[in-house]
Structure 1
């Protein structure tokens, strides 16, 4: 294994920077100290760092960071997030006190995705020319309303438009370098509220039970086959995620019944169209029902081409692996960034993300920094 990169004496080692980022507790929505750590690492490298707060409660406020170096030439962007999910109970060590045991660095965010951000900082220590930016939010693990979308708006105000964007999500499955994401399915959540009229179960003619209408609507929705998948995407799926009546009495017909469903869809569909299809079914069974959709993001695909080949070649150079191009998994902020330019996602092994005792192999941090450096070298050479 080649030695860790050391482009600039003033730059914290990739492991040490990852430790500092982990130690800055940043449960979503993240603000403050964790951004201080990243800014302190970027400013000596010549980046102009802008931080701003966006949004209000309950989904904010959220802090975002936009760092730019260079003015002209090819614009390459790296995107990611400093917020993390809550650690939960049962860790073998404090989730926000990074600790190395057996060659693994433990801590919330080690994999998703503070380690990748630290690796890119190490890789970008050498200024290769052109324009380089980091698009970093504190609101990816949450509603993602005031994060990357606000950063995109700020970039538009400043006339910044990257030509290529690499997102550092943990895409690897078994070994660093075995998978690259070139697309993601879209996501829409839908809340269904069917009103009725409360009454005594012995006098049903004096009441209106909403449950049968909701159940019939859900049965029809559950029977939908949206598609059989595409060349790059698995089939779209609809999943019922909650049914709530909240009726503690055995002799009362409830006044309302509610449900929630989630649709993950490929690029054959759009979120609004799917929401309208669900609403039509619900209203056919319950005309007075309230259907509330929230489209988290549309499906996107960066067709295999020069950019994915460039990233794959960099991975092969460092790891010796041929990366699988995939669109599997959940959503990421790449769904927003894909509107700007071609987007590819590549990062650490995702086996422990969101789990107790989240951990990254120390050697993987060094290797990822070398992959990112190799990507930057190829981007520069191709300019």
Structure 2
């Protein structure tokens, strides 16, 4: 099957793989490797639970170094208003249009072709380096049975990688200008302040939780919980919702609920958030619920340095190192202490109407991954 990174991306876009649908993409990827490498050159582990499908494709010879390329083939729903069918790849104005063009079928196409071509040219490389691909159909959803679930399985089989590349769209303007070298954690919180409902004409008979909150709101909304550092912005408490009462003007609320999120650096923990909120609301009748949906991490400097050097070699300039943005499946590698970086095409149109990518960015990503494989196979990492 003679597919390059761009033509494979066109094929992948044509699959309407809205979370958690896989739509047969894994069979295509397996066929690509079987035709190029033969049946005995790779092993396969598949998982399926609650409609989520995972694929782990790997070279069978174990080695001390194990490089894993990871990504998701699921996409968010396209929405209305597209200039063309979102699942029919379309070239115009110098772009390839289609749902998943940036997030992240471009990344999957680039590393599938890079690994395939590298192994065809260097069949003996796997004597000292195990190479794998991990694909999931549940990154855009809850992620419960996606990459994290597969990593649990790999750990039980002694197949956890020693380094990983997640091909999320990370760039601003052109592929390679920004890479993610870590991620902030995410802590979700819910505060319930209790009062006593009553008639507004008799405030002396009421305990209004809105008034109890009063000036203390300024100590919660938008406050920085730490100063950040060279790699991370300060951990900011961001209130996302405040509600209470019955949407009438003559009854005070019985309770007030506040929802918030903290994208936290490693300097601030869930317990730090708990202590701070309790201090601010001391003396009030309230409850606090906290849930850590992801833990922040900073990747191994040697892996970052190697990837940066590869990007500079291909693109002519070193990338900006960033930990900004939301969460990704890289957090599951980071949580296990596996060095991981995220490298991909620009992300200016992810999840948007008329999502599109420049073909040259897809080709550049393929070249970056190819260069990295060449370097790591020489034992540089």
- TM above 0.5, yes or no, is yes
The equivalent of 2:140 in structure 1 is 141
Aligned residue runs from structure 1 range 210-359, under 5 A:
210-222=209-221, 224-245=223-244, 247-270=246-269, 272-281=270-279, 284-287=282-285, 289-305=286-302, 307-338=303-334, 339-359=336-356
Residues 93 and 279 from structure 1, CA distance in 2 versus in 1: closer, same or farther, beyond 3 angstroms?
same
Matched, 1:104 2:95: yes
Question: CA 1:274–1:81 in structure 2 vs 1: closer, same or farther (change >3 Å)?
Answer: farther
Q: Could you tell me which residue of structure 2 aligns to residue 184 of structure 1?
A: 183
Cα distance in 2 for residues equivalent to 1:83 and 1:262:
26
Give the Cα–Cα distance (whole angstroms) in 1 for the partners of residues 113 and 339 of structure 2.
23
TM-score (norm 1): 0.87
Deviation at 1:269, TM superposition (A): 2.0
Partner of 1:377: 374
- SS of the residue corresponding to residue 112 of structure 1 reads coil
Match of residue 13, structure 1, among 4, 16, 22 = 4
Within 2, Cα distance between the matches of 1:37 and 1:208?
64
Structure 1 position 72 matched with structure 2 position 62: yes
- Answering whether residue 45 of structure 2 is matched by residue 50 of structure 1, we say yes
Q: TM-score, normalised by structure 2?
A: 0.88
- 2-structure distance, mates of 1:303, 1:72: 22
Corresponding residue for residue 86 of structure 2: 95
Q: Secondary structure at the match of 2:344?
A: coil
Secondary structure of residue in 1 paired with 2:301: coil
- What is the alpha-carbon distance in structure 2 between the residues aligned to residue 72 and residue 249 of structure 1? 67
CA RMSD of aligned residues (A): 2.3
CA distance in 2, matches of 1:239, 1:103: 39
Alignment partner, residue 53 of structure 2: 63
Contact 2:222–2:238 (CA under 8 A) maintained in structure 1: no
Residue in 1 that maps onto 2:364: 367
Q: Cα–Cα, structure 1 residues 42 and 262, in superposed 2: closer, same or farther, change >3 Å?
A: farther
| Equivalences, count | 366
Counterparts in 2 of 1:280 and 1:11: CA distance versus 1, 3 Å: farther
Structure 2 residue ranges without an equivalent (≥5): 120-124
- Judging changes above 3 Å, is the alpha-carbon distance between structure 1 residues 76 and 191 closer, same or farther for their aligned structure 2 residues? same
**For residues 37 and 213 of structure 1, what CA distance do their matches in structure 2 show?**
60
Distance 2:13 2:217 in 1: 43
Q: Which residue number corresponds to residue 5 of structure 1?
A: none
- Offset at residue 90 of structure 1 (A): 2.1
> Residues of 1 paired with 2:16 and 2:195: CA distance?
46
> In structure 2, the residue corresponding to 1:219 is in which secondary structure?
helix
Unaligned runs of 5+ in 1: 1-9
CA contact (8 A) 1:220 1:281 kept: no
What whole-Å deviation, never above 9, does each CA across 1:228-259 have from its counterpart, x for those lacking one?
A: 22122222211111112262222122233222
8 Å CA contact 2:242–2:257 kept in 1: the answer is yes
Residue 279 and residue 236 in structure 1: after superposition, are their counterparts in 2 closer, same or farther (change >3 A)? Answer: closer
